[in-house]
Amino acid sequence: MARTLSSARSGQLAAFGLGFCCAALLGATDAYPAFERFARVVADVETHSEREVSAGVLVEAALHGLAGALDEHSAYYDAATWRALRDREAGLLVGVGVTTEPRECGLWVTRVEPYGPAERAGLGVGECIHRVDGLPATAAALEGPEGTALRLELQGGSPSREVAVLRGRARPPAVETRGIGNDLVYVRVRHLAEAVARPLSVAVAARKRAPAGMVLDLRGNPGGRVEEAAALVDLFVQGGVIVSTRRRAGGDDVLQARASAEDWSFPVVVLVDGETASAAEIVAGALRELGRAQLVGARTYGKGSVQRIFAYEDGAALKLTVGRYYLPSGTPILDHQGLEVDVLVEPRAGADAPLEAGMALLRP
């Protein structure tokens, strides 16, 4: 009992001191009773709970609850969870972009992922991976750190062959452009995590003549870098505010369009849906508010908040919502409300109804 009581008092004093310091630093004198109550609760649970629980466990649980009480995008991660998340995002173990099943010959390829390493290396469905780096092929042998090389011996083709392939993820291009007839351009932007404005500018400039109109497809686009969103909008406008970021703690940002020598005055239709989110909503909303586009499809997802990661010395981290994006009119992008469309299009089996509606607007 003496040990437990001593531990409880230590935990109480630590929590009490933390609360006092935080309240003093923040100038929040009304927070003092709350921190004092927290310290007393921790001490009482640690001392009297039927199950022995350390103050450290209780504080960790309180930190998770604190983040959960804020909003759906904020979260507290203990050291192990944060490390696992970073490892997963880094893709420490990846394959070559094939689905296989075991056969006598080794691993029979049943599917090749589009844009993956295997497709780039020329692997096809129906071939069999017989050996990997000279050893019998196994699914585990295909996995490893991203960017590392493998030598695959293949059977099933004519003749059998050997190829070199780098482990990696299937990465479709962020932006794809194709003509629709002789006058329109269709642009698919999958995400904004990498450069899209520059490749699009190059693709349009390479055309023999300026398009009569453009369909900008942002359906399923989860967002990415707000700077890239602004750069994309900048191609279509000659001036004005594109997006502003407002933070409670200060440090607001405003991204403005710059005058361009390129003449992109052709009409634009933007296709959106319930999975168009974050930076993609900035593109759609800014183009409409700046008078450059109509939105076609379905209401967007609604994710206009800004998150920041605070990393701590013990390996834990806090993802905290610190601000919000505002469109040129000063209207915020509200969570789960999204952007209303100008032309609502219901899905239709066997057809891309939003694309058809967008083309109809460009060809009245």
Domains in the chain and their CATH numbers?
2-69 (no CATH), 98-166 (2.30.42.10), 175-362 (3.90.226.10)
Secondary structure of residue 119 in the 3-state scheme: helix
Percentage, residues of the chain above pLDDT 90 = 59
Determine the distance from the C-alpha atom of residue 346 to the mean position of all C-alpha atoms in its chain, rounded to a whole number: 27
Write the burial class of residue 213 (CB in 10 Å: 0-12 exposed, 13-18 middle, 19+ buried): middle
Q: How far is CA 330 from each of CA 254, 292, 327, rounded to the nearest angstrom?
A: 11, 17, 5
* Long-range CB contacts (within 8 A, 24+) of 203-206: 203/175, 203/177, 204/177, 204/264, 205/262
Spatial separation of the C-alpha atoms in residues 336 and 272, rounded to whole Å: 15
Helix (H) or strand (E) holding 56: helix 55-68
Secondary structure of residue 346 in the 3-state scheme: coil
- The Cβ of residue 263 has, within 10 Å, a number of other Cβ atoms equal to 8
Whole-structure pTM over 0.95, yes or no?
no
Q: Give the pLDDT of residue 68.
A: 86
Q: 318 or 14, which is more confident?
A: 318
Q: Give the pLDDT of residue 157.
A: 61
Secondary structure of residue 355 in the 3-state scheme: helix
DSSP state letter for 353: H
Six-digit token string for 153: 């011996």
> What would the DSSP string read from start to end of 206-274?
TSSS--SEEEEE-TT---B-HHHHHHHHHTT-SSSEEEEEEETTS--EEEE----SS---S-EEEEE-T
Q: Give the pLDDT of residue 109.
A: 93
Q: Do 160 and 153 meet the contact criterion of CB atoms below 8 Å apart?
A: yes
Among candidates 291, 271, 289, 285, which has minimal Cα distance to 361? 271
**Band (155; pLDDT cuts 50, 70, 90):** confident
The pLDDT mean for the chain works out to: 87
Q: For 192-248, how does the pLDDT look when each residue is reduced to its tens digit (9 = 90+)?
A: 999 999 999 999 999 888 899 999 999 999 999 999 999 999 999 989 999 999 998
Q: Give the pLDDT of residue 13.
A: 42
**Band (158; pLDDT cuts 50, 70, 90):** low
Q: For 73-130, how does the pLDDT look when each residue is reduced to its tens digit (9 = 90+)?
A: 999 999 988 988 887 666 666 889 999 999 999 999 999 988 899 999 999 999 999 9
